[in-house]
């Protein structure tokens, strides 16, 4: 299947416009803090949310709004999370109503999301004053400004789009994401908004998203903290004209492959932009007894603070990798484990059969002293595989989070 990258982010699929502005939620800052994505037609809608028992008010509201499997637009603010605040759901409902009025839609047509500081009330005054301006700025060139509007400690925007075919019809999937800290599986802490012009039934869209999140965003960890406002949602308007996907088959598989390509790319962007990070880490586990063991092992390695700290120092401390495998809970035989480190500078084996071997520390440091490093783990127990993404742990991470509210 041919999947090619195209420009445009969430506006790459037909029938979607987006915009982002600074409305004043972030006091004393000029960054965009309010974003809008709008579809020209009714859309099938699906979403996956954080499993943290403490959840942002926008999640409860969004769940109600898309319970029928449909939506038309997304409104999201950054700066304040609207979490653990009295009247939070009422605030989220009003926020969606304000956006809906500006778009000529019903409030229940809106997905609503927030990100930022927890425990502080979201003042709707700046949103009320500027949502009309935001709606007026909607355009097919607006993906980047919307992406900037959802960023918190992110240092760079994260957006992507791909084109593929379904039944001879060109289809596209686009996405924007925010995420830098409080990122950990179930699900990785971030906001991700996806759009597609493919025609797909709501139940199949939910099945596709849920299945892919387990292989992508739930395999992503920056710091071991699962946040309160995580949301991945997708809107599908069907304007590509393909025969609607209503069941599993070749077209559903093709859609899943395209969706996965977007989500993997966004995962890598989020991991590489982890708070204070200097390295994107990828842990690939092969030879596992089953997929569960592979996922568990990969997530444990990528989440280990000691592994992450070693990677920051370009220290080939493979014992920390084995330690993370040993407490992961994955079914494996440590005496069969092989560990390699790889990057654009080369590849080096540091452990075989669960034991150390002679290797060049100088070469290992050169391999690890790159901005993207792969930790390759071979278990020797079967044919299953999985990949997880993360980043190194640096001094800057502590500084950022020690000053987050200030």
Kindly report the number of other CB atoms within 10 A of residue 68's CB atom.
10
Give me the half-sphere count of Cα atoms (radius 13 Å) on the Cβ side of residue 397.
22
Enter the tokens of residue 383: 């044919």
Indicate if the alpha-carbon torsion angle 175, 160, 176, 15 is positive or negative.
negative
Burial label, 98 (beta-carbon count in 10 A; 0-12, 13-18, 19+): buried
* pLDDT band of 270, cuts 50, 70, 90: confident
Indicate if the alpha-carbon torsion angle 269, 112, 16, 116 is positive or negative.
negative
> What top-level class would CATH report for the domain 280-402?
alpha beta
Task: State the Rg of the chain over Cα.
Answer: 21
| Least confident window among 80-84, 180-184, 350-354 | 180-184
pLDDT attached to residue 188: 46
Q: What backbone phi and psi angles, to 5 degrees, belong to 148?
A: -65, -30
Each residue's pLDDT tens digit, 39-81: 999 999 999 998 777 788 999 999 999 999 999 999 999 999 8
Query: Rounded to the nearest 10 degrees, what angle do helices 318-326 and 305-312 cross at?
Result: 170
Q: DSSP string of 266-319?
A: HHHHHHHT-TT-S-EEEEEEEEESSHHHHHHHHHHHHH-HHHHHHHHTT---HH
What element of type H or E holds 211?
helix 202-213
Residues labelled as active-site residues: 189
The structure tokens 């071997």 sit at: 357
Model confidence, pTM: 0.87
Each residue's pLDDT tens digit, 120-176: 999 999 999 999 999 999 999 999 999 999 998 788 899 999 999 999 999 999 999
Q: Note whether 336 and 380 are within 8 A (CB).
A: yes
Indicate if the alpha-carbon torsion angle 104, 142, 1, 257 is positive or negative.
negative
Enter the tokens of residue 282: 């990828």
What's the whole-number mean pLDDT along residues 214-241?
82
Q: Where do the domains of the chain lie?
A: 4-272, 280-402
> What is the architecture, at CATH level 2, of domain 4-272?
4-Layer Sandwich (3.60)
Q: What backbone phi and psi angles, to 5 degrees, belong to 221?
A: -150, 130
Please give the distance of CA 17 from its chain centroid, rounded to a whole number: 21
Q: What is the DSSP letter of 230?
A: -
Query: Rounded to the nearest 10 degrees, what angle do helices 291-303 and 305-312 cross at?
Result: 60
Q: What backbone phi and psi angles, to 5 degrees, belong to 358?
A: -70, 135
* pLDDT band of 213, cuts 50, 70, 90: very high
Enter the tokens of residue 305: 């603070």
Q: What backbone phi and psi angles, to 5 degrees, belong to 2?
A: -90, 115
Do 4-272 and 280-402 share a fold?
no
Burial label, 141 (beta-carbon count in 10 A; 0-12, 13-18, 19+): middle
Q: DSSP string of 157-208?
A: -EEEEEEEEETTEEEEEEEEEE-SSS--SSS-S-EEEEEE-S-B-HHHHHHH
pLDDT attached to residue 222: 63
């Amino acid at each position: 299947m041919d999947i090619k990258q195209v420009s445009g982010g969430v506006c790459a699929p037909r029938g979607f416009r987006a915009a982002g502005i600074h409305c004043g939620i972030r006091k004393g800052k000029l960054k965009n803090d309010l974003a809008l994505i709008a579809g020209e037609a009714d859309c099938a809608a699906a979403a996956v949310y954080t499993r943290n028992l403490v959840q942002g008010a926008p999640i409860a509201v969004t769940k109600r709004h898309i319970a029928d499997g449909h939506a038309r637009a997304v409104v999201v603010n950054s700066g304040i999370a609207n979490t653990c605040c009295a009247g939070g759901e009422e605030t989220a409902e009003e926020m969606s109503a304000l956006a809906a009025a500006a778009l000529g839609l019903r409030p229940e047509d809106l997905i609503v999301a927030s990100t930022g500081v927890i425990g502080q009330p979201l003042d709707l005054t700046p949103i009320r004053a500027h949502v009309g301006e935001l709606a007026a700025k909607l355009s097919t060139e607006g993906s980047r400004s919307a992406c900037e509007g959802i960023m918190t400690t992110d240092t760079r925007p994260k957006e992507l789009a791909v084109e593929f075919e379904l039944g001879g019809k060109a289809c596209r999937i686009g996405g924007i994401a925010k995420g830098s800290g409080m990122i950990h599986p179930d699900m990785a802490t971030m906001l991700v908004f996806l759009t597609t012009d493919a025609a797909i039934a709501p139940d199949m869209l939910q099945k596709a998203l849920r299945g892919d999140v387990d292989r992508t965003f739930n395999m992503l960890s920056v710091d071991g903290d699962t946040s309160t406002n995580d949301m991945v949602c997708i809107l599908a308007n069907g304007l590509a004209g393909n025969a609607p996907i209503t069941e599993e088959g070749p077209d559903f598989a093709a859609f899943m492959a395209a969706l996965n390509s977007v989500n993997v790319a966004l995962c890598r962007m989020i991991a590489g932009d982890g708070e204070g990070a200097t390295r994107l880490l990828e842990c690939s586990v092969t030879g596992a007894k089953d997929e569960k063991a592979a996922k568990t092992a990969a997530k444990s390695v990528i989440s280990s603070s000691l592994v992450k700290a070693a990677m920051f120092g370009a220290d080939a401390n493979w014992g920390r990798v084995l330690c993370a495998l040993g407490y992961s809970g994955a079914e494996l035989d440590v005496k069969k484990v092989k560990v390699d480190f790889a990057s654009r500078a080369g590849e080096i084996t540091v452990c075989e059969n669960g034991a150390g071997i002679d290797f060049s520390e100088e070469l290992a440091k050169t391999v690890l002293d790159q901005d993207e490093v792969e930790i390759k783990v071979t278990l020797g127990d079967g044919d299953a595989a999985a990949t997880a993404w993360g980043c190194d742990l640096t001094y800057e991470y502590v500084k950022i989070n020690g000053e987050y509210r200030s």
